Structure 1
Amino acid sequence: MNVKQYDAIIIGAGFAGLYMLHKLRERGLSARVLEAADGVGGVWYWSRYPGAKCDSDSIYYSFTFSEELYKKWRWKDRYASQPEILQYLNFVADELNLRPDIQLKTRVTKAKFQEEAKQWEISTDQGEIFEAKYLISGVGCLSTTNIPPFEGSESFKGEQYHTGRWPHDKVDFTGKRVVVIGNGSSGVQTMQEVAKEAKEMTLLMRTPHYVAEARNHPLSKEEQEQAINNYKGIREAFFNTPGGIRLYTTGKSATAFSAKEQKEKLEHIWETGGLSLGSVFTDVSANKEANFVVSQFVRDKIDEIVEDRDTAQLLHPNYYITTKRLIIGTNFYEIFNEDHVHLVSLKDNPIERIVENGVQLKNGTVECDVIIYATGYEAMTGSLLKIDIEGRNGKTIQEKWEDGRNVKTYLGLMMESFPNLFMITGPQSPSVLTNMPAAIEQHVDWIDQCIEYLEEKGIQTIEAQKESELEWAKQCDDLANQTLYPYTNSWYTGANIDGEQRGFVIYVGGLNNYKAICDQVAANDYEGCTFEKLQSNVL
């Protein structure tokens, strides 16, 4: 069989894969991106559900590594929609002439480290074999869909869709009875649009969430030009703020303000919109008293907006705000005042099975023509665990991570027993707690500089030391335990899959602090790693 040789194979053609390819080509290395879809875009290629938008202000949802590239693009809205983000990523692929090195409709099924050759052997669903010194994952944190195994789903006679695998053509809901299962970000955004068309729409809700107002709007020419002229400020925010984005903050604890002042600050956030409910006070994610102030503010807003008292109560979240991903929406709570919109709590009336005419609950059946599964993703580890990745001595990533229940990495970037395997925004990095383009740029830049070091020194392999992984896991756990995150089961921990708490696999210390740690590791000649030179001489 013809084996294709490259210096690096990159999995995925989203933000991460595109930038990684660009950097490696600049370095003069041969690289190939393997992408399962028939277009670039990553998660933004697949998630075409109605109302799909990013939840970072669009002016920050761009690459900043090139001032020229940044200034060529103009975002239309405060929060960019899926079609516009996909258009942007295609623009990037064209501007940087990346397409010749991107192979579409190709899913990586297996990757095996060859001990003697010190190379990765990568197999695809097209029957191809690639060999490369470096294997780089750009599969993303939220790209593997989670469809709960509801009994009887194959018997349903109507239409079924998952928000993460939406059809390319518009779905018409006019005159139809629609059931939405799940009310995370994709569910909220979908419902806002489906409610405009459907004859009836019923949300089957397991856990109510905090939904902040987005206040989305078209960006004026003046706002667009202001963003372009603020390029240096945008880039500075990428790497010198905890979230890679500037959000409103008082810079003080909630306890520094009177109750009246607290409410004034929160009302300002609600009216201006966005994710700043999590940053308005410095201790929202760590102090129960401060968190209650913000959490209760949203619950009070729900009571103000939703006319039916029982429905309002059902919509009250009862966990610490920010410990599940904060959602932003547009008049989300208002849709429950419409006669054709219904809410069913699954807490005491769970789903038993899907039947041919709808969803059978413990207490009756909700009849419908369409079922939308807004049930999220196997987040953080799911996409990597779907690939058969085999490191030294036949150890698989599934064995190393105990199928995701005991994640072990160094900096979220590499692993012991998996030489020259790099993960972009992997578990135990800041990833989903940040503006993703910022996190991706930081990761890709670090990986690129690491590869430069290896090539210049004539080093054949690099991998994490076991002790480094243990120390990093402890550092991540210690930081998380100083916050309120571990108190809540969420997709941050993998609990959305089967209800099992798997551990908090995100670095919560902020992208700015994380970058400083990574930079120090690099400055100290990649301390915490083991190297092999040619002839297997250990440094």
Structure 2
Amino acid sequence: MTADVIVIGAGFAGLYAVRRAVSTGLSVLGIEAAPDVGGTWYWNRYPGARCDVESVDYSYSFDEALQQSWTWSERFAAQPEILAYLRHVADRFDLRRHYRFGVDVIGAEFDQEAGGWRVRTRDISQGGESSHAAQFFVCATGCLSAVNRPDIPGADDFAGDVYFTAAWPREDPDLRGKRVGLIGTGSSGIQAVPIIAGQAERLVVFQRSANYSIPMPNRPWSAEEQRRIREEYPERRRMSAYASAGTPHGTYHKKALEADPDERIEALWRRWREGGVLFAKTFPDQNSDPAANDVAREFAEERIREIVHDPVVAADLIPVDHPIGTKRICTDAGYYATFNRDNVRLVNLRREPIDAIVPEGVRTGAATYPCDVLVFATGFDALTGALTRIDPSGPRGARLRDIWADGPVTFLGLMVPGLPNLFTISGPGSPSVLANMVLHAEVQVDWVIELMLTARRLGVHEVEPRRDAADAWTEHVAKAAEQTLFPKASSSWYLGANIEGKKRIFMPYAGGFGTYRRHCEAVADQNYAGLVLTTR
């Protein structure tokens, strides 16, 4: 089959890419490894999985009728509701007919003679391989989709059941009466711990690096709130369109140290009660000025000490290796209080690292912890992993792994030099995980589709960024990060620190979503300056 566009992925970005392309008259083939739509929200079904952006913002804005017809039940939607929403979108716009599900992409090569991509796939259940051709190749593979399976000695020897939060079974395993060991305390681990603790006979949490987490005061939307949300949606979207994080929430009107102490505490309490990642944006200088960051950090640490009864455990739960917010702030429903339970134990792996996994459990330098079940909340090879595993190759033999050997190089976080007609959505060099991912996907996909249509109108067969333009954008991304405290979190997955051997480079664009959007618009307005458009 030859299509105009091949889209990998059926999450928020992939579905919108298919919808947008089809609506302009382009023929599209969608490819998805899962048996249905959902992307990240299909696979991430672990206990407690929930979005940390308010549901009314973490939704499509491109269709007013869709926006007005869907009712979110909660302030912060849980995985089942987000998945139901994406299935509803797929039904509403008849998107499944453009997809092949249960198909894994195993490689891709640019065929210069044909002027397009040949994408190789494997049927996951049947095992057969196929090849598909298209002029354009859109990788909506997700920032958080390539599961990180850490190489721990003895992992294959464990006699019990093993689960990954990033690839949780479709049917929840029964953990009642089980001794569970959970490795990893990032977002998924922090969300899962309170629920697993309430089911298991005993839970041991193995923590390598503590993370800051802010309570998520979730609640159902009232009927009046739902009415008001629908009424105010246009203004809410207008405020989000060029906002720093793609949501309508701003920061306090003064810098942290410009406010008097009482003002600062009041502002911090307000954000603590609002909950979630917004706490990282209480003050406008919180992520750039160490003194401002200390104000927020000390407040959060006081709250942890208030919640956790044992001062030693509280001290272990307080991060010592990064300013608050420079690793993504987690959100939770009772995480810290869970460590007051008699059936929960925290093991600080910096004091007693894991020696090996043994048949009966986990052995550290100090003890062996018996486990019937191991849960790996070890996250993803973020931002680049899903792309480098495909490792597409360009017309001059350049492979993505080689191009990115010293860190990802992109133009606007959308294109890669040496790989014409290939587009990356929500990947490195774009705000991606630092912004509202749904609005972010719409902006990027719209830019990509408009470029495709321009190429068709002009008779252009190949579009590719110049290497110097990509280098300049990549340098701009690095400088934007240097203006913040983000690089100080040396163990962050923003830098790839969770993946052995991965180059340590801050990958997202930290200059703000609105600034990024203006950069994209400027390039288009300047007739796609920085790109080489080739006709035959």
Query: Are residues 1:377 and 2:380 paired?
Result: yes
Greater shift, 267-276 or 360-369, is seen at: 267-276
Whole-Å separation in 1 of the counterparts to 2:393 and 2:218: 45
**For residues 272-421 of structure 1, what are the structure 2 equivalents within 5 Å?**
272-318=274-320, 319-402=322-405, 405-421=406-422
Whole-Å separation in 1 of the counterparts to 2:501 and 2:333: 29
Give the letter for the 1:433 counterpart.
L
Aligned to 1:36: 33
Displacement of 1:502: 1.5
Q: State the secondary structure of the residue aligned to 1:530.
A: strand
Q: State the secondary structure of the residue aligned to 2:67.
A: helix
Whether the 8 Å CA contact 1:14–1:40 is kept in 2: the answer is yes
Whether the 8 Å CA contact 1:459–1:532 is kept in 2: the answer is yes
Give the letter for the 1:483 counterpart.
T
Alignment partner for residue 533 of structure 2, among 524, 528, 531? 531
Q: State the secondary structure of the residue aligned to 1:497.
A: coil
Greater shift, 412-421 or 217-226, is seen at: 217-226
Aligned to 2:480: 479
- RMSD of aligned C-alpha atoms? 1.1
Aligned to 2:505: 503
Whole-Å separation in 2 of the counterparts to 1:235 and 1:38: 32
Q: Deviations over 1:388-419 (max 9, x none)?
A: 311121111011101xx421110000011111
Whether the 8 Å CA contact 1:251–1:280 is kept in 2: the answer is no
Whether the 8 Å CA contact 1:247–1:275 is kept in 2: the answer is no
Q: State the secondary structure of the residue aligned to 2:455.
A: helix
Give the letter for the 1:105 counterpart.
G
Whether the 8 Å CA contact 2:237–2:248 is kept in 1: the answer is no
5+ unaligned residues in a row in structure 2: which ranges?
124-128
Displacement of 1:227: 1.5
Whole-Å separation in 1 of the counterparts to 2:213 and 2:427: 27
Give the letter for the 1:444 counterpart.
V
Q: State the secondary structure of the residue aligned to 1:190.
A: helix
Whole-Å separation in 2 of the counterparts to 1:451 and 1:310: 58
Q: 1:145 to 1:237 in 2, by over 3 A?
A: farther
Give the letter for the 1:211 counterpart.
S
Aligned to 1:119: 116
Whole-Å separation in 2 of the counterparts to 1:29 and 1:276: 39
Query: Are residues 1:47 and 2:44 paired?
Result: yes
Give the letter for the 1:386 counterpart.
R
Whole-Å separation in 1 of the counterparts to 2:223 and 2:421: 46
**For residues 450-465 of structure 1, what are the structure 2 equivalents within 5 Å?**
450-465=451-466
Aligned to 1:26: 23
Displacement of 1:259: 2.0
Displacement of 1:248: 4.8
Whether the 8 Å CA contact 2:18–2:28 is kept in 1: the answer is yes
> Normalised by the size of structure 2, how large is the TM-score?
0.97
Query: Are residues 1:73 and 2:46 paired?
Result: no
> Normalised by the size of structure 1, how large is the TM-score?
0.97
Whole-Å separation in 2 of the counterparts to 1:359 and 1:74: 45
Q: Deviations over 1:442-499 (max 9, x none)?
A: 1011111111111111111100001101110111111111111111121001001127
Aligned to 2:432: 431
Give the letter for the 2:397 counterpart.
G
Greater shift, 271-280 or 427-436, is seen at: 271-280
Give the letter for the 1:156 counterpart.
F
State the identity as a percent. 39
Whole-Å separation in 2 of the counterparts to 1:457 and 1:272: 50
Q: State the secondary structure of the residue aligned to 2:26.
A: coil
Greater shift, 492-501 or 102-111, is seen at: 492-501
Q: State the secondary structure of the residue aligned to 1:386.
A: helix
Aligned to 2:126: none
Whether the 8 Å CA contact 1:380–1:426 is kept in 2: the answer is yes
Aligned to 1:264: 266
Whole-Å separation in 2 of the counterparts to 1:281 and 1:98: 42
Aligned to 2:225: 223
Whether the 8 Å CA contact 2:276–2:329 is kept in 1: the answer is no
**For residues 10-25 of structure 1, what are the structure 2 equivalents within 5 Å?**
10-25=7-22
Aligned to 1:192: 194
Whole-Å separation in 2 of the counterparts to 1:83 and 1:128: 32
Q: State the secondary structure of the residue aligned to 2:464.
A: strand
Q: State the secondary structure of the residue aligned to 1:445.
A: helix
